[in-house]
Amino acid sequence: MFSRPTAALSSPVDITGDLVRTGFCVIPGSSMRVPTALRSSLKTLMASYDRLPVDPHLPDGGRYRYRRHTRYTYRPASGELLVADNPGYFQTVENNAFVGGQLRAYEELTGEVREGAFLAALIAFNVGQLPHAEAEQWAVQVHCVRTVAHDGLPGRPTPEGVHRDGCAYVSVHMLSRHNITGGMTGVYTPDHELITEKVFTECLDSFFGDDLRVRHGVGDVSVTDGSLGEGTRDMVLMSYDPM
């Protein structure tokens, strides 16, 4: 267990209002204000992506996605954030036709990331934007995901295509991208009609979504310059359910 950090993230964007009005909010990373006290922890999180294990649950046999996953319980009133038991990650086939219907076990976030000040601050900030302010505690899932593209072999951030995650709310946050093109993030109606789209390019470019009201998906990424080696796209994915 560890508490809400004394340094907090902030943003002038009315994320809660957008979630209530439209079911989603897309914001630039420049509007996410990260205090100096959290920047070292953010750098530690970003560096950890070089040590992500390959996702073992891709039915196409691909090695284009690397991933860790941790569950938390968060109590807004006290700021308590507890690492929860993690039996694995499950989505229905209806929500994810690509890998749904199976319990997927991933390695936990490393301790310096799992209990890091930046991740704790990001969870606290994000939950504070969600409309269900009366919830006493939240089940929060955090996925650290790197998508890798090789010269002539694209990476697939969401091989399942347009989808919902099967929770109350989701958020997606870019950390970095290197030597890639593509990766268009789209927000859709439940009937898969495009509402808006944006290529995330800057640290903390973010999407917040009411998972019952909107769908989302990301296009494939390709290497920009083969002479520079592989291309990477590093994201933090979160889901939230009131308890």
**Percentage of the chain with pLDDT > 90?**
78
Query: Amino acid letter at 237?
Result: L
**pLDDT at site 5:** 62
Which pLDDT band, with edges at 50, 70 and 90, does 62 fall under?
Answer: confident
For the purposes of burial, counting CB atoms within 10 Å of the CB of 130, is it exposed (0-12), middle (13-18) or buried (19 or more)? buried
Cross-strand bridge partners of residue 89: 104
The 3-state DSSP class for residue 111 equals helix
Rounded Cα gap, residues 35 and 33, in angstroms: 6
Task: Give the pair of three-digit tokens for residue 80.
Answer: 């308590």
- pLDDT (tens digit per residue) in 4-26: 566 899 999 999 999 999 999 99
What rounded mean pLDDT belongs to the chain?
92
Mean of pLDDT values over 57-69? 87
Mean of pLDDT values over 146-152? 94
Task: Give the pair of three-digit tokens for residue 44.
Answer: 């530690």
Tell me: pLDDT of 61 over 90.
no
**pLDDT at site 117:** 94
- pLDDT (tens digit per residue) in 81-122: 999 888 877 666 666 656 656 667 889 999 899 999 999 999
